[in-house]
Amino acid sequence: MTAPSPSDTTPSPTTPLPTTRQSSTTQSNEAAPRTPADDRLVIGLLLVSAFVVILNETIMGVAIPHLVVDLGITANAAQWLTTAFMLTMAVVIPITGFLLQRFNTRPIFLAAMSLFSAGTLVAALAPGFEALLVGRVIQASGTAIMMPLLMTTVLTLVPPATRGRTMGNISIVISVAPAIGPSISGLILSAFEWRWMFGIVFPIAIAALVLGAVKVRNVTTPKPAPLDVLSVIFSALAFSGIVYGLSSLTESVTVGVSTLAVGVVFLAAFIIRQIGLQRVERALLDLRTFLSKTFTLAIVMMAISMMAMFGSFIVLPFYLQGVLGLEVLQTGLLLLPGGLLMGILSPIVGRLYDRFGPTVLLVPGAITVSAVFWALTMLTPTTPVWLVLIAHIALSAGLAFLFTPLFTAGLGALTPNLYSHGSAVLGTVQQLAGAAGTALFVTVMSSKALSLGAGGASEAVATTGGVTSAFLYGAIISMGAIVVAFFIRKPADSIGGTPMVH
């Protein structure tokens, strides 16, 4: 394969760019221009809307036992309510790069929130499993569009010198919303039936839709972007195959590996086709984003961090409930302080990024995450709950120091004509990494627990052994993030000059 020429990595004077704010990229740190009030309103509405939709990605986890009883289905069937959500996200997100180039901000926002609201209503009124599953798929279709839209809008409107603080708010959406999802669902389920998880969200979604219809305006300049149908097919088969394969590993290694292999084959076909199409500016997902060293390293570190976060989300409740005997509500409340701390720290980390750059944040953050994972490998059946709470709070703090610098440095290193594609790549990697982390941690935990149980260990000892083995794998993987953290630099356009591919 022939690498794209250097001229392909930066827009020519005649190339239309999806932005009306080109002059902002020339601002320096000394000027530190403020984002206009009307732009801040647009970003604020997108942030609130994105928080609501992303929250639903993890809200179903603790509801599975309730659904098994109420709907008369198996646990494996109930798990599809989460798996189908992830599959839909993985299929739709790669297409958002095309959508954000081809259409204006406002209609995309209205489409995303309308889909999410409709899916939420279907789920709230679902008479059975099938309707609930359909509602989740519709929800995910809107969710998949919202995050790349938010990222691209921020990159378009916010001057590079002050992007860190705004990206800090985005970190609240991407990291805190999934983190507190289980806590919120636990609180709701302790007092109401499962339908209220959607019934409470629906009026909030409708309010965001109506307010957005009135206040959100167009902030990008669309350009002709032909849709390559074959790329869409390859993308759908590739990313759904990978996500489903990873998710299936916990139930059937044969099914998981075979589906994963099919996904990888179609991923290779997708990549080859994009490399060919991007030479004539027709790529569904422009892979020239990876010509940026900063973006590539940020994506690698983001993948590791997402694997760690989602893996710990799924494994810790097994230990807290199965070994320490906590109830669902107690588990949700124990995990809540960490999620709230991430929300508090994210804007602060954003301001620190604007002032000091990514390295001083990423290195201690990566070391903290790794240290917590190594500490969690020493859990025992009698470990005090308060020690687990401290570990989770420390893990959340470490992750908070990672996400904002990675978003800001990685996407800020791209040229404006690649913002939408970079946002789509980031969203896709998040889904794949989340599925990979979940599959890895659960597979390791289950196999080790079964092995110890077969050897005569008690259920508590076997479960603890499985959990600590999963965290051991996470600890080993986390070491890679420490190495990568030293090589991520602040993009040149954040410290003066024009954006370039680094």
Nearest one of 440, 450, 424, 156 to 295, comparing CA atoms: 424
List pLDDT tens digits, range 152-207: 888 778 777 777 777 777 777 766 777 677 777 778 887 888 888 899 889 989 99
Q: How far apart are CA 109 and CA 106, in angstroms?
A: 5
Burial of 489 (0-12, 13-18, 19+ CB in 10 A): middle
Highest mean pLDDT among 64-68, 116-120, 159-163, 345-349: 116-120
Nearest one of 430, 344, 494, 499 to 147, comparing CA atoms: 430
Mean pLDDT, residues 446-468 taken together: 88
Nearest one of 187, 241, 244, 161 to 59, comparing CA atoms: 187
Per the listing, tokens 């302790």 go with: 190
Three-class secondary structure of residue 30 per DSSP: coil
148 and 100 in contact (C-beta within 8 Å)?
yes
Lowest mean pLDDT among 87-101, 170-184, 283-297, 342-356: 170-184
List pLDDT tens digits, range 306-335: 888 778 777 888 888 888 988 877 877 887
Q: Which residue has the higher pLDDT, 495 or 391?
A: 391
Mean pLDDT, residues 467-485 taken together: 91
Mean pLDDT, residues 23-30 taken together: 39
- Map out the domains of the chain as residue ranges: 36-227+284-494, 228-283
Question: Residue 2 — pLDDT band, cuts 50, 70, 90?
Answer: very low
Mean pLDDT, residues 413-417 taken together: 85
What pLDDT is stored for residue 498 in this prediction?
A: 40
CATH of domain 36-227+284-494: 1.20.1250.20
- pLDDT for 481 beyond 60: yes
List pLDDT tens digits, range 328-381: 778 778 878 887 888 888 888 888 998 888 999 999 999 999 999 999 999 999
CA 209 to chain centroid: 22
Lowest mean pLDDT among 125-139, 146-160, 403-417, 476-490: 146-160
**Contacts by 77-81 with C-beta closer than 8 Å and gap 24+?**
77/129, 78/129, 80/133, 81/132, 81/133, 81/136
393-427: b (≥16 Cβ within 10 Å) or e: bbbbbbbbbbbbbbbbbbbbbbbbbbbbbbbbbbb
Average pLDDT, the chain: 81
